[in-house]
């Protein structure tokens, strides 16, 4: 079956990591041999051939560029305008990959239906990988009124914050709630009919956002705090609120989010065991809270600043995602459950929340 991945930083890898995703994975790794500017050099897991090999025919792909104020130690751009320009370069890469037939942007429900038909009916032909465009961290939106321009470019989902303090909201490992601009941004998202991605929001921002925002919400790449205690994960209280809103929660494969005690830069799959079974445990936790398999999907975040050095030891590339289905089957999940988690829940969520062509 075709798999759905709710979170991949494809353009970031192409533009900042300088990876040509059209190439075989081994060629990408070999070209990075000896490079040390990024800690995951030579350890990448994603490319278009591996996605097709694993049947990942549909994903949510991001634009991402952080603005950092003076004194913020995180990497990023020194003005919102520079961050905006970076996302526009990423958008240009998506456009060129579309022109070459590698990718196909999904803007509407009709686009989605057509793409699914292509993957179902042309299995022996090269098929483009479908993507829905999302913005991870809203710092690059210079002012909320600029969001409509991005919507016309096909942006359908937005997470207001990433790591650290953001322009509109507080992100992972920070405290505090929404500021007035953040509330204005959420109202503009409501007006446009966009999806709110609550991944990376601080706890206070999470609860405030669910009060302010009236539209569809989901968590594209988030795991369970009950299994790995950290603010980056969601507590059972937060997960229940998302379930009440009809959200889908994507399971991320970053090792420090899968197992407790992982220390970035020190732990690795050899000295701190982590496998795809740990990802299955997070999926199972959400399913047990929901009482069904209708709210989980994969949101791997693969090559989102980490590779094999900080991923499950039994996964060499994104093509191995199907193994999660095998593990869930061994835990008692039915074939229908597996279809829900690996494909159906994400597709149904998109069908409910993408606009129709006539409404744009």
DSSP assignment of 257-305, as one string? HHSTT--TTT--TTTS---HHHHHHHHHHHHHHHTSSSSEEE---TTSS
Q: Which of 221, 246, 245, 244 is nearest to 234 (CA)?
A: 221
Q: How far apart are the first and last CA of the chain?
A: 31
Residue with tokens 């398999």: 293
pLDDT at residue 145 in the model: 86
pLDDT at residue 125 in the model: 84
pLDDT at residue 109 in the model: 98
pLDDT at residue 360 in the model: 82
Residue with tokens 């953001």: 166
Q: Which residues of the chain have pLDDT under 50?
A: none
Q: Is 22 exposed, middle or buried (0-12, 13-18, 19+ CB in 10 A)?
A: middle
Look up the pTM and report it: 0.97
pLDDT at residue 181 in the model: 96
pLDDT digits (tens, 9 = 90+) for 169-201: 999 999 999 999 999 999 999 999 999 999 999
pLDDT at residue 326 in the model: 97
Q: Report how far Cα 211 is from the mean position of its chain's Cα atoms.
A: 23
pLDDT at residue 207 in the model: 98
Domains and CATH numbers, the chain: 3-355 (3.20.20.140)
Residues 6+ apart with CB under 8 A from 172: 161, 162, 163, 164, 200, 202, 231, 232
Task: Assign residue 55 a region (left: φ > 0; alpha: ψ between -120 and 50; beta: otherwise).
Answer: left
């Amino acid at each position: 079956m075709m798999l759905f991945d709710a979170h991949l930083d494809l353009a970031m890898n192409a533009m900042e990591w300088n990876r040509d995703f059209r190439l075989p994975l081994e060629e990408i790794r070999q070209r990075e041999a000896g490079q040390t500017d990024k800690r995951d050099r030579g350890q990448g897991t994603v490319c278009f051939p591996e996605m097709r090999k694993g049947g990942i025919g549909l994903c949510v792909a991001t634009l991402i560029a952080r603005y950092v104020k003076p004194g913020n130690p995180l990497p990023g751009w020194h003005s919102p305008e520079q961050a905006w320009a970076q996302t526009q370069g990423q958008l240009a890469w998506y456009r060129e990959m579309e022109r070459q037939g590698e990718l196909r942007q999904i803007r509407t429900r009709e686009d989605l239906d057509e793409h699914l038909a292509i993957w179902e009916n042309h299995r022996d032909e090269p098929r483009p990988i479908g993507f829905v465009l999302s913005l991870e961290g809203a710092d690059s939106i210079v002012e909320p009124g600029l969001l409509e321009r991005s919507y016309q470019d096909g942006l359908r989902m937005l997470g207001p914050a990433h790591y650290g303090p953001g322009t509109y909201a507080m992100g992972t490992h920070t405290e505090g709630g929404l500021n007035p601009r953040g509330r204005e941004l959420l109202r503009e998202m409501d007006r446009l009919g966009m999806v709110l991605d609550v991944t990376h929001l601080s706890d206070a921002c999470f609860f405030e956002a669910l009060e302010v925002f009236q539209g569809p919400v989901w968590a594209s790449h988030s795991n369970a705090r009950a299994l790995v205690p950290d603010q980056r994960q969601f507590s059972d209280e937060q997960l229940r609120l998302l379930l009440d809103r009809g959200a889908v929660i994507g399971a991320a494969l970053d090792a420090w989010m899968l197992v407790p005690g992982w220390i970035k830069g020190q732990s690795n799959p050899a000295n701190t065991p982590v496998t795809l079974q740990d990802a299955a445990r997070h999926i199972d936790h959400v399913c047990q809270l929901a009482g069904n398999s209708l709210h989980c999907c994969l949101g791997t975040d693969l090559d989102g600043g980490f590779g094999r050095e900080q991923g499950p030891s039994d996964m060499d590339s994104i093509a191995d995602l199907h193994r999660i289905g095998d593990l869930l089957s061994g835990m008692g999940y039915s074939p229908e459950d597996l279809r829900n988690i690996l494909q159906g829940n994400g597709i149904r969520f998109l069908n409910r929340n993408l606009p129709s062509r006539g409404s744009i």
